[in-house]
């Protein structure tokens, strides 16, 4: 009986998975190959298919099936993954039904307008042009928190959409200690007598060669081109149409060697996660990464812990040098490692280094929390932003375009999203510390270009579980401790000491 | 009241159009960029979305709406295009509902098996391996003709799926006279003392240059890259996701200059048709070409009447020659024109020339008609094929792989499809003759590289109407006469006389 009902449920999840995959294909094509003139038609196609996904998600018969199966799931002989799948479906259903249609429509309208006014405000460096739209979005998001429900802090309800179960109460002490540890490290860096020079990275590198080198590199790391591919787009991303079809994109600049290579390795980290989910979860709600934070941990692991490490370049540098003998001829592996790890406070989040990046996130987190809790208003944001930049990073934006207007997220209503980025860094460092304990010769493997054990470890501990385990469970099971900043600060201290000749 | 109901109907056609466009995007990606390992997942996605299209097409409420609106469409103030849209929807609905689900399922099963056995049979040159599957398909298609209904000949019901309204009774006299006219021309060619030499076409041409030249050429002809693009695939095709997103593909061989260029011009002919449909028809059933035959007339018009003509190469040859100065250095426009128009009976349909191509189609037509009417059995096909090849083309296939097993169509149940190809040739020649009457200096325009009037004529007379006019109506309105072979034979005679120095 339960087996029959579960089969019925699976048929529905497959339809939903296939429709969602089609939406993802439409989105991928839009960013890679679609001709410009097709934009309006494509927006309509995506909107129609997304509406069908929503309709099917909230359809009464399907909801009843999920609830009935979930209610009886302890006694009906379902396997663990089947129960986890039901749990995800129930979460999707609740997310989709808790929000009144009127609210969803108003959010769509408001974000569409806000994106327009944000673009204008940023271009004209005039925050006032965005303030009203932002205030409306904040109000809508406060309402949304009410609809979704929360135990303690309305901002929790928003964070939960991207990192299920994460709360302000958990994040605040971690972020505070992270900020303090970062301050200490930045002071040591400022006092360092011997600063690395990264000018060589911004000379002239053939774009075709960069792309070919980067593709080969992610294949060596373990991205499977038999079930994935790489294309170009204005902004790098990873998207998946199921674990057997994972698409990465990157971009290439002649005068910045980092963008294509590290961008693609980052996306390949996301991609290997998607490719590694247990095939048994195909076309179920479990067939994807479990949270934004864990997803980001996988991309950052490969980008930073592996591909910005000294052992990695001991192995890889000769190949890179022979690809670009002109610009890199007089450099060595250690010099290259130092160049790609320069730490320097900067105004723009996406251009900042591994260490100061988190300070941008902490500022967003603190401001979002205050906005959603009504402790500040939209009018307070620019001055608060600038004073926090001064306090944490020691620099003051010249205008709001390089300050609080720099990121698109708020304009599409993405409150609660920013913490994921730093969560990714913290998780990645925790996983790395644990991996070193379990693979004692890890650095030796990396410095000889062997990544099979690294990938196998991530597969075994993280990838294969897809969404069947929440991030807190994964972290606790893998590291035997909850989220903390200590592994990250330990890792960054080690790296900074090598790069700046300290210690 | 009718306006409200029509609006309701339009909302439904938009959903159907968007879903169908998504299916087309999934198909395009499958043939161009999809990694091999994604094949099974993609097949499931396409199947799921196609099933949704079917479900929505036959949904009772939608059917009632179409029928009510159609029944009252003479008195309810609807515009002509709105009535035409309802007519198309009614046709789609009837096509979808006349076939019992059991039959559709069995066809899907049978064609899946047949494609497998056809591949094997062709590879092993062993017709017997395909015979049983083919016999089953013929039986299913005879049943299908019964479900669909027909006035005179069951084969009519199958042809109607690709060329609405076309019948064996109309085709037979036309094809018979075409065969006879072709025989006469082939005899004149055989007796010609002065045969052109096309060996130069099969020397060595840089693939990147071929592709770049071909892209530029279709842009010059009028294919709009703002709402379209070109990619590579194993077999060239054109697909459309709406008139603002039309995708062409081509393939390139080093040792055959014709394939990439003429293949792409052919597909661009299809593409310009799709791009030219009246924007008022967006997301309705009218937003596409009206029949396979008219579609093929547009591709063949540009490929043959324009791009295989002498005036065209008087204009284009210097550019082609400077692109490939090595192989083409000692040739002139006239020599190139003669080389690309060599007529020579050959075994393989898709490799055959403009004239003898139709004989392959006539053979398919005669055999399909006899099979569907039970005048022959599947066992008779190989010998009948070979004897017709001898009679019409004067050559005998060495085995069935270069005989009746060469084409994939039967294995997917595409009976009734083949006549479209020759219909395309006949329509194209009729349109060309009419265009010359209405644009007296047409050849002078072509020989100076001006195609704007050609495209504008096709747009005005054919493209913009989309599916709102059936092929017979279009042909009669444009040419003031019904389908006939005379324009084609007149056109071919003129060309053959130039190429072979006759006349």
Residue B503 is predicted with a pLDDT of 77
Which candidate from A40, A49, A242 shows the least CB-CB separation from B22? A49
Using alpha carbons, select from B256, B246, B205 the residue that is nearest to residue B223.
B246
CA distance B37 to chain A (A): 5
Number of residues in chain A: 503
| Identity of the residue in A14, A21, A35 whose CB atom sits nearest the CB atom of B226 | A35
**A101: confidence class by pLDDT, cuts 50, 70, 90:** confident
Is A16 in contact with B44 (CB distance < 8 Å)?
no
Measured from the Cβ of residue B444, the count of other Cβ atoms closer than 10 Å reads: 11
Instruction: Tell me which chain B residues have a C-beta less than 8 angstroms from the C-beta of A282.
Output: 41
C-alpha closest to that of A498 among A335, A357, A318:
A335
Portion of chain A with pLDDT greater than 90, in percent: 95
Verify whether the Cβ–Cβ distance A226 to B19 is below 8 Å.
no
**Nearest-angstrom CA–CA distance, A337 and B330:** 57
- Whether A25 is covered by a domain: the verdict is yes
Closest chain B C-alpha to A495 CA, distance in angstroms: 38
Q: What is the dihedral of CA A430, A436, A442, A444, to 10 degrees?
A: 110
Residues from chain A that touch B229, judged by Cβ atoms under 8 A, are: 33, 35
Q: Total structural domains in chain A?
A: 1
Residue A286's pLDDT band, with cuts at 50, 70 and 90, is very high
- Give the distance between the most distant pair of CA atoms in chain B: 73
CA distance, residue B277 to nearest chain A CA (Å): 15
- How far is A244 from chain B, CA to nearest CA, in Å? 5
Q: What would the mean pLDDT of A291-296 be, rounded to a whole number?
A: 98
Res A478: pLDDT: 98
**SS3 label, residue A253:** strand
Residues of A in contact with B49 (CB under 8 A): 18-19, 22
The predicted pLDDT at position B74 comes to: 67
Q: Do A25 and B21 touch (CB under 8 A)?
A: no
Distances (CA, A) of B143 to B139, B150, B165, B409: 6, 12, 19, 18
pLDDT at A74: 67
DSSP B253: B
Contact B247, B228 (CB under 8 A): yes
A245 → closest Cβ in B21, B35, B49: B35
Write out pLDDT tens, residues A478-500: 999 999 999 999 999 999 999 99
Nearest Cβ partner of A37 from B29, B38, B227?
B227
With CB atoms and an 8 Å threshold, state whether B15 touches A48. yes
Task: State which residue of chain A sits closest to B36, comparing Cα positions.
Answer: A226
The torsion angles phi and psi of B113, rounded to 5 degrees, stand at: -65, -40
Please state the ipTM of this predicted complex. 0.93
Cβ <8 Å between A227 and B282: no
Residue in A with minimal Cα distance to B56: A52
Q: Which of A40, A228, A283 sits opposite B35 (nearest CB)?
A: A228
Nearest to A381 by CA among A26, A135, A49: A135
Tell me if residue A267 is catalytic.
Answer: yes
Which position among B88, B144, B163, B267 bears the catalytic label? B267
Note whether B249 and B32 are within 8 A (CB): yes
Query: A103 vs chain B: nearest CA distance in angstroms?
Result: 23
pLDDT tens per residue across span A14-41: 999 999 999 999 999 999 999 999 999 9
Q: Which parts of A152-286 fold into alpha helices (H)? A: 154-159, 168-191, 207-221, 257-275
Chain A closest-CA separation from residue B25 CA (Å): 7
Residue A93 located in a structural domain: yes
How does strand B228-232 pair with strand A238-240?
Answer: unpaired
Q: Report whether B467 contacts B290 (CB < 8 A).
A: yes
Name the β-bridge partners of B232: B250
Residue A53 structural domain: 2-98
The string over A104-121, giving b where at least 16 C-beta atoms fall within 10 Å of a residue's C-beta and e elsewhere, is eeebeebbeebbebbeeb
Least CB-CB distance to B49: which of A19, A225, A227? A19
A75 in a structural domain: yes
A480: left (phi over 0), alpha (psi -120 to 50) or beta: left
Note whether B209 and B323 are within 8 A (CB): yes
Interface contact flag, A15 B48, Cβ < 8 Å: yes
Q: What is the DSSP letter of B149?
A: -
Give Cβ neighbours of residue B419 (< 8 Å, ≥ 6 apart): B159, B162, B163, B166, B171, B293, B361, B364, B365
Choose from B36, B43, B44, B240 for mutation: most chain A CBs within 10 A: B44
Distance CA A293, CA B186 (A): 72
B chain contacts of residue A242, beta-carbon cutoff 8 Å:
38, 41
Q: Would you call B15 and A52 a contact, using CB atoms and an 8 Å cutoff?
A: yes
Closest-CA residue of A relative to B228 is A35
User: Taking CB atoms and an 8 Å cutoff, what residues of chain B touch A241?
Assistant: 38, 41-42, 45
Distance from C-alpha of B261 to C-alpha of B218, rounded to nearest angstrom:
9
* pLDDT single digits (tens) A320-363: 999 999 999 999 999 999 999 999 999 999 999 999 999 999 99
Assigned domain for A76 exists: yes
Q: Calculate how close chain B gets to A72, using CA atoms only, in Å.
A: 29
Which residues partner with B229 through β-bridges?
B247
Unique residue bearing structure tokens 């989040």: A349
- Chain A residues whose beta carbon lies within 8 Å of the beta carbon of residue B36: 226
Q: Can you give the three-state secondary structure of B345-358, one letter per residue?
A: CCCCHHHCCCCCHH
Chain A positions touching B22 (Cβ under 8 A) are 22-23, 25-26, 45, 49
- Looking at the partner chain, which of A22, A35, A242 has a beta carbon nearest the beta carbon of B229? A35
Residues on chain A bordering chain B, Cβ-to-Cβ distance under 8 angstroms = 14-15, 18-19, 21-23, 25-26, 29, 33-38, 40-42, 44-45, 48-49, 52, 224-229, 231, 241-242, 244-245, 282-283
A482 CA to centre of own chain: 20
**Minimum distance, in Å, between the CA of residue B276 and any CA atom of chain A:** 14
Q: Rounded to an integer, what distance in angstroms lies between the CA atom of residue A136 and that of residue A148?
A: 18
Q: Does the residue A145 lie in any domain? A: no
The structure tokens listed for A327 are 């610009």
C-alpha–C-alpha distance, residues B62 and B68, integer Å: 10
Closest partner CB to B35 (pick from A22, A49, A227): A227
* Closest residue, chain B, to A245 (C-alpha): B38
DSSP labels, A53-94:
HHHHHH-HHHHHHHHHHHHTTTTS---HHHHHHHHHHHHHHH
Q: Is residue A371 part of a domain?
A: no
Does residue A20 form part of some domain? yes
Residue of B454, B463, B471 lying closest to B279 (CA atoms)? B463
Token match 């970062």: residue?
Answer: A182
**Interchain CB distance below 8 Å, A45 and B22:** yes
> Chain B interface residues facing chain A, Cβ-Cβ under 8 Å?
14-15, 18-19, 21-23, 25-26, 29, 33-38, 40-42, 44-45, 48-49, 52, 224-229, 231, 241-242, 244-245, 282-283
**CA A66, CA B74: separation in Å to the nearest integer?**
49
Between residues B13 and A2, the one the model is more confident about: B13
Q: In 3-state terms, what secondary structure has residue B112?
A: helix
Catalytic residue of the set A144, A267, A303, A368: A267
d(CA B22, CA B12): 15
Instruction: Name the 3-class secondary structure at A239.
Output: strand
Q: Are A359 and A393 contacting, i.e. CB atoms less than 8 angstroms apart?
A: yes
Would A419 be classed as within a structural domain?
no
Mean pLDDT by 10 residues, chain B (503 residues): 87 97 96 95 93 92 94 80 95 92 90 92 96 97 97 97 97 98 96 94 97 98 98 95 97 96 98 98 97 98 98 98 96 97 95 96 98 98 97 96 95 95 98 98 98 98 98 98 98 97 87
What is the per-residue pLDDT for A3?
A: 80
Mean pLDDT of A423-440: 98
């Amino acid at each position: 009986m339960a087996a029959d009902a579960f089969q019925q449920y699976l048929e529905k999840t497959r339809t939903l998975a296939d429709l969602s995959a089609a939406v993802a294909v439409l989105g991928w094509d839009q960013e890679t190959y679609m001709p410009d003139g097709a934009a309006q038609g494509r927006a309509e196609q995506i909107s129609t298919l997304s509406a069908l996904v929503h309709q099917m998600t909230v359809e009464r018969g399907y909801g009843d099936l999920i609830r009935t199966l979930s209610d009886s799931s302890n006694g009906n002989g379902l396997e663990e993954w089947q129960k986890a799948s039901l749990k995800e479906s129930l979460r999707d259903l609740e997310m989709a039904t808790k929000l009144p249609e009127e609210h969803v429509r108003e959010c769509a309208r408001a974000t569409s307008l806000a994106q327009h006014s944000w673009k204008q405000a940023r271009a004209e460096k005039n925050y006032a042009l965005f303030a009203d739209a932002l205030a409306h979005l904040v109000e809508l998001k406060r309402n949304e928190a009410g609809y979704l429900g929360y135990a303690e802090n309305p901002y929790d309800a928003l964070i939960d959409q991207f990192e299920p179960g994460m709360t302000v109460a958990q994040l605040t002490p971690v972020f505070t200690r992270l900020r303090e540890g970062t301050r200490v490290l930045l002071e040591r860096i400022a006092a360092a007598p011997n600063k690395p020079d990264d000018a060589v990275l911004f000379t002239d590198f053939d774009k075709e060669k960069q792309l070919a080198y980067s593709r080969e590199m992610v294949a060596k790391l373990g991205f499977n081109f038999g079930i994935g591919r790489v294309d170009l787009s204005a902004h790098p991303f990873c998207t998946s149409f199921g674990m057997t079809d994972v698409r990465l994109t990157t971009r290439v600049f002649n005068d910045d060697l980092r963008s294509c290579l590290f961008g693609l390795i980052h996306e390949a980290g996301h991609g290997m996660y998607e490719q590694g989910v247990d095939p048994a979860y195909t076309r179920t709600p479990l067939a994807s990464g479990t949270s934004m934070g864990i997803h980001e941990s996988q991309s950052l692991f490969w980008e930073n812990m592996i591909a910005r490490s000294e052992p990695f370049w001991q192995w890889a540098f000769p190949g890179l040098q022979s690809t670009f003998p002109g610009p890199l001829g007089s450099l060595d592996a250690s010099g290259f490692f130092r160049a790609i790890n320069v730490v320097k406070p900067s105004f723009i989040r996406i251009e900042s280094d591994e260490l100061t990046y988190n300070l941008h996130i902490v500022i967003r987190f603190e401001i979002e929390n205050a906005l959603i809790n009504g402790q500040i208003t939209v009018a307070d944001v620019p001055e608060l932003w600038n004073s926090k930049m001064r306090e944490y990073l020691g620099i003051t934006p010249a205008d709001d375009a390089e300050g609080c207007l720099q990121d698109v997220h708020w304009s599409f209503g993405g409150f609660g999203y920013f913490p994921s980025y730093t969560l990714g860094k913290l998780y990645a460092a925790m996983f790395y510390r644990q991996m070193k304990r379990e693979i004692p010769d890890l650095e030796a493997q990396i410095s000889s270009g062997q990544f099979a054990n690294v990938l196998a470890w991530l597969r075994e501990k993280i990838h294969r579980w897809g969404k069947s385990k929440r991030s807190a469970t994964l972290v606790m099971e893998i590291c035997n401790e909850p989220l903390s900043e200590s592994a990250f600060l330990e890792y960054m201290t080690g790296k900074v000491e090598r790069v700046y000749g300290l210690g």
